Structure 1
Amino acid sequence: MHSTSLKWLSLVAVIWLQAINGTNTNFPAYSSQLKQLLSISQIQLNNLAFASDAGKLFGWFSGIAAIYLPLWLVLIIGLTLGVIGYGVQYLFVINQIYSLSYWHVFLLTFLAGNGICWVNTVCYVVAIRNFLSNSQVAVGLITSYQGLSAKIYTNIVDVVSPHNKAKTFLIMNSLVPMVIGLVVAPIVREIEVENPKHSNVGFALMFVITIATGIYAMMSSLQFFTNKISSLGILIGIIVSLLFPLLLPIFMKIKELVKPWNANKESVRVYHVTIIDEENIEDNEDKESEDCSEVEDVCVMEEIGVKLMLRRMNFWLYFLVYFLGATIGLVFLNNLGQIAESRGCSATSYLVSLSSSFGFFGRLIPSLLDYFYRISRPASLVALMAPISCAFFLLINKTDNALYISTAVIGVCTGAITSIAVSITTDLFGTKNFSVNHNVVVANIPIGSFLFGYSAALIYHKEGHGNGKCMGMSCYNITFIIWGSLCFLGTLLALILHTRTSKFYSHKQ
């Protein structure tokens, strides 16, 4: 048996991993400079953004590895892929390696993107296994911190080397995850605790810390805030906020040391509650099986493998909703640097930081809702898809305010869908094969990254008259109309998915 404090410490560990693992999200902050350093076209630059997402096509390898290998080893493999992918690119950019072609850089970016999948898989598995009855809450908390990655790295670069962003981002992307990963690797594992009860006080405290962190991140992204506080001051504040979650395992450890005699009383109480709960669970399972057998594909209560999952209509609806919503949002964020440049907006770092901060809150919102009130997750998808569609149409307005508002809205909704998706996968297809199933679901991201990103690059290239650089609203207006229309279609598909699963979620509540 392990202590409860160690279980909460494992949650803190994956929070730190998530906070520094979104290395692909800071790509827009240095993409324009990388384009110049490599002397490549917009289409080639888009291919590099696609390469990072394409790593997810083989993310299911990490899912299989998580079944058969220790989680710490899966973590180290993912971190090593990131070191190689970004590290070799850094050596190339500083002219320490001269023999790399563009396609070598593409493959290295692909490798780094795949490494992110390995680390994410470890984080999700630890959160779900250690907090099974509150998996959505735990997953929502940790994934919200991944929304901070772009802001963290942007602040580090602003302090270390603001004029050589591409080089600094590449070396930071390589070293920071490995350093943090080696520190937390010993505690990133499944923690078995005799008492299965999860403390509501613990999650409440974690929510307070997380919300405070999000508010600080959002406020420090606003221009009036950055004019008053230095980049170093903002970075120190972010680091301190990431240390605050340690208060929870420390509190739990003190509680264990001060009141050890409560353990026996609690064990007796849990024993009686477990007997009662087991009887209730058996009755509920009988009812669930009976209800779900009425409409096979609408109410899923079984553990489903990949082959069976791919034959389910709900999977394809879910896949397409993600594809036409969060994936398009991610493509927009990947192209944020070029979009801002084409509109004559020089505040690219500000926009990346803004999207990161609002994405943080977006990822946290589903967890908060699930903690206080359980609602149908497909219904949440409907509510999130519609604003993304509206945001793309708003981008047709040429003002900077329209760009800022749309970036914030897309950041919030994309982050929320990303967080909800983890729980929908477990809801519809079970937890046993989650590590493989969810990596199959997110394979839609590289597909969408290629299709949507490549089409946007072609339009950009055409409007730029083939000279490699396009300036003006015409560079992306047609793209925004297409993306907004596709998101609207995704909203309708989300409504169909909600209708098909409404019986299951009403029964689940």
Structure 2
Amino acid sequence: MPSPSVQWLSFVGTIWLQTINGANSDFPVYSSQLKDLKSFSQVKLNFLAFASDAGKLFGWFSGLAAIFLPLWLVAVIGAIFGLVGYGVQFLFLGSTHLSYWHLFTLTALAGNGICWINTVCYIICIQNFPSDSRVAVGISTSYVGLSAKIYAVVADVIFRPQSNHDAKTYLGLNAIVPILVSILVAPFLREMETKNKARSSCGFMVMFAITLATGICAVVGSIRPESREHAISLGLLLTAPLVVPLAMKYREGKEELWWNRRERRVHDITVDEVDTRESVMDLEMREVESVDGKVEESVEVGGLQLLKKVNFWLYFFSYMFSATLGLVFLNNLGQIAESRGFSKTTTLVSLSSSFGFFGRLMPSVLDYSSTKSGYMVSRPAFMAILMAPMAGAFFLLLNPSRLFLYLGTTIIGGCTGAITSIAVSATPELFGTKHFGVNHNIVVTNIPVGSFLFGYFAAFLYQREAEGSHSCNGIRCYEKTFIIWGSTCSVATLLCTVLYARTRKFC
């Protein structure tokens, strides 16, 4: 049986990996400057935003690699892809030899690297915490929502004298930070055979408290001007999860000492008594599994067999018409803000990142509380509930007021984060856990498909409103786009409701 301290240390490793694994989420911050530097049209800029998502088309390779390679190596490979993808752009951004298609290919390579790190984090959370996998996945993936915020804070601390950090600043950070963190946590990334299915309530309660404090700190820092004090506070909160494995290690030491003393006192235990004690322990474990584990019958579907399932296509398109649509909105946030007259988009991007963090965390909070009551909310139902306000937020953006831009951005960022987090648990719930690494990477191929379709259409309408210019100003730039996106998200709500009806278990 693995040591609980090592088990929790691997979980802390996934938290740190996820914190820096959204390197592509800071693209809106420097997209306008990149557009001017390379004289790109809006269509080309949207294709470049799509490039990171295009890398997910081959994300299933990471699922296969995780079967044959140690998890730490899979994570390092993903970080190396990011190092090459963003590093080459950093070195040759101002060179005429770096063409548009070079940028596209390098960005796609970096985007594929994100899938490798995600796969490692998902597998560790699901396998190492079988009875609390939903909670573990929710907490871990919530930190992805902070990535844009973290990169903005690091850029501000290191390059504070500059009023506006240029594209090279973020490209350099995107290349270096993931590989450094991956090497740091590599010794802790391992999949464990966990026979004890008892819940780790105390550990997750502490993690929830730390995670909530981190999110609140990030939101406050997004509203108020950045400061070194805020950066230090955020850094301390990101190291705080180490408290749990350290406490576990301390408890293990005390238990080992107690057990050694007990063994010295006990000399007359017969073989029959030992067998009886083991039988009782096995019976207790079965009782724990039946009460807490709540093992449900699930059909194991793997690989291309998914394509034959109606539920897969309902899941695929409802995801694409909601969470993927939200990601496209966030990728275009820099251009949307610029069209509304924002001179600096960092604040808006940090705000969406912070609320995306809370959105990703919310499902795990509800899962944790629902396990106490014995009632678990269906994943498809949960997703459908979140898609409805997201659809309404797109229509709110038709109002030219900055207040509605802030409100719509926070709703879309929060709901997108929540749906993305829920989907990680929905995939094994719908299709089983055996082929999860491959299955989920097949599901997320909807992201590049949706990113291409929705991103290109938004860029086409933007360019038409710009009337030959590179830039467009006013609400008209994205007015039709928001109407179409809101209607599309409404369709997603309907599809996910149908999926819930098909998978609901009637008593």
State if a TM-score over 0.5 links the two structures. yes
Task: Name stretches of at least 5 consecutive residues in structure 2 with no aligned partner.
Answer: 263-276, 371-375
Shift, 1:261, TM fit:
5.8
Shift, 1:345, TM fit:
2.0
Distance 1:357 1:273, change over 3 A: same
Shift, 1:125, TM fit:
0.8
Residue 118 of structure 2: aligned partner: 120
Shift, 1:354, TM fit:
0.3
Q: Counterparts of 2:239 and 2:290 in 1: how far apart (Å)? A: 42
Contact 1:356–1:411, Cα closer than 8 Å, also in 2: yes
Residues 1:354 and 2:356 aligned together: no
Residue 326 of structure 1: aligned partner: 323
Residue 148 of structure 1 aligns to a residue whose secondary structure is helix
Shift, 1:238, TM fit:
1.2
Identify the range of structure 1 (378-387 vs 454-463) with the bigger mean alpha-carbon deviation. 378-387
Number of matched pairs: 483
Residue 34 of structure 2: aligned partner: 34
Distance 1:101 1:154, change over 3 A: same
Q: Counterparts of 1:310 and 1:420 in 2: how far apart (Å)? A: 21
Contact 2:141–2:360, Cα closer than 8 Å, also in 1: yes
Contact 1:345–1:400, Cα closer than 8 Å, also in 2: no
Residue 147 of structure 1 aligns to a residue whose secondary structure is helix
Q: Counterparts of 1:409 and 1:204 in 2: how far apart (Å)? A: 26
Shift, 1:71, TM fit:
0.9
Q: Counterparts of 1:50 and 1:99 in 2: how far apart (Å)? A: 22
Distance 1:14 1:263, change over 3 A: farther
Contact 2:198–2:288, Cα closer than 8 Å, also in 1: no
Residue 242 of structure 2: aligned partner: 246
Correspondent of 2:157 among 156, 159, 168: 159
Shift, 1:278, TM fit:
6.7
Residues 1:168 and 2:169 aligned together: yes
AA at the equivalent of 1:151: K
Distance 1:450 1:261, change over 3 A: same
AA at the equivalent of 1:491: T
TM-score (norm 1): 0.91
The aligned runs of 1:9-20 (5 Å cut-off) are 9-20=9-20
Correspondent of 1:462 among 457, 461, 464: 464
Contact 1:366–1:419, Cα closer than 8 Å, also in 2: yes
Residues 1:317 and 2:337 aligned together: no
Residue 449 of structure 1: aligned partner: 451
- Seq. identity, %: 56
Contact 1:154–1:353, Cα closer than 8 Å, also in 2: yes
Residue 25 of structure 1: aligned partner: 25
Residue 403 of structure 1: aligned partner: 405
Q: Counterparts of 2:216 and 2:290 in 1: how far apart (Å)? A: 44
Residue 85 of structure 2: aligned partner: 85
Deviations 1:280-338 (A, max 9, x none): 899x87xx66xxxxxxxxxxx12111222211111111111101100100000000000
AA at the equivalent of 2:84: I
Shift, 1:436, TM fit:
0.5
Shift, 1:460, TM fit:
0.5
Contact 1:323–1:445, Cα closer than 8 Å, also in 2: yes
Shift, 1:61, TM fit:
0.5
Q: Counterparts of 2:340 and 2:177 in 1: how far apart (Å)? A: 33
Identify the range of structure 1 (193-202 vs 479-488) with the bigger mean alpha-carbon deviation. 193-202
The aligned runs of 1:132-147 (5 Å cut-off) are 132-147=130-145
Aligned-residue Cα RMSD (Å) equals 2.0
Residues 1:189 and 2:186 aligned together: no
Residue 369 of structure 1: aligned partner: 366
AA at the equivalent of 1:116: I
Contact 1:195–1:270, Cα closer than 8 Å, also in 2: no
Residue 205 of structure 2: aligned partner: 204
TM-score (norm 2): 0.92
Residue 6 of structure 2: aligned partner: 6
Residue 386 of structure 1: aligned partner: 388
Contact 2:34–2:167, Cα closer than 8 Å, also in 1: yes
Shift, 1:156, TM fit:
1.2
Contact 1:320–1:490, Cα closer than 8 Å, also in 2: yes
Residues 1:58 and 2:54 aligned together: no
Distance 1:461 1:203, change over 3 A: same
AA at the equivalent of 2:85: G
Shift, 1:279, TM fit:
7.7
Contact 1:37–1:93, Cα closer than 8 Å, also in 2: no
Correspondent of 2:501 among 499, 502, 509: 499
Residue 237 of structure 1: aligned partner: 233
Identify the range of structure 1 (195-204 vs 40-49) with the bigger mean alpha-carbon deviation. 195-204
Shift, 1:494, TM fit:
1.2
Shift, 1:165, TM fit:
2.5
Residue 259 of structure 1 aligns to a residue whose secondary structure is helix
The aligned runs of 1:479-490 (5 Å cut-off) are 479-490=481-492
Residues 1:272 and 2:272 aligned together: no
Identify the range of structure 1 (115-124 vs 193-202) with the bigger mean alpha-carbon deviation. 193-202
AA at the equivalent of 2:324: T
Q: Counterparts of 2:313 and 2:497 in 1: how far apart (Å)? A: 14
Shift, 1:144, TM fit:
0.2
Contact 1:56–1:439, Cα closer than 8 Å, also in 2: yes
Residues 1:130 and 2:128 aligned together: yes
Deviations 1:42-89 (A, max 9, x none): 111111100000000000000111111111111111111000000000
Deviations 1:412-435 (A, max 9, x none): 100000000011101011111000
Shift, 1:195, TM fit:
3.8
Q: Counterparts of 1:443 and 1:201 in 2: how far apart (Å)? A: 37
Shift, 1:498, TM fit:
1.2
Q: Counterparts of 1:377 and 1:194 in 2: how far apart (Å)? A: 26
Deviations 1:213-236 (A, max 9, x none): 1111112111xx32xxx4322211
Task: Name stretches of at least 5 consecutive residues in structure 1 with no aligned partner.
Answer: 290-300
Contact 1:94–1:167, Cα closer than 8 Å, also in 2: no
Q: Counterparts of 1:114 and 1:183 in 2: how far apart (Å)? A: 21
Distance 1:197 1:39, change over 3 A: same
Residue 298 of structure 1: aligned partner: none
Q: Counterparts of 2:216 and 2:289 in 1: how far apart (Å)? A: 41
Distance 1:262 1:357, change over 3 A: farther
AA at the equivalent of 1:54: A
Residue 297 of structure 1: aligned partner: none
Q: Counterparts of 1:313 and 1:186 in 2: how far apart (Å)? A: 41
Residues 1:257 and 2:268 aligned together: no
Shift, 1:467, TM fit:
1.4
Contact 1:13–1:188, Cα closer than 8 Å, also in 2: yes
Shift, 1:121, TM fit:
0.6
Q: Counterparts of 1:196 and 1:394 in 2: how far apart (Å)? A: 46
Q: Counterparts of 1:361 and 1:278 in 2: how far apart (Å)? A: 31
Q: Counterparts of 1:192 and 1:489 in 2: how far apart (Å)? A: 42
Distance 1:194 1:429, change over 3 A: closer
Shift, 1:197, TM fit:
2.6
Contact 2:198–2:292, Cα closer than 8 Å, also in 1: no
Contact 1:6–1:191, Cα closer than 8 Å, also in 2: no
Residue 470 of structure 1 aligns to a residue whose secondary structure is coil
Contact 2:197–2:285, Cα closer than 8 Å, also in 1: no
AA at the equivalent of 2:390: I
Q: Counterparts of 2:470 and 2:292 in 1: how far apart (Å)? A: 63
AA at the equivalent of 2:65: A
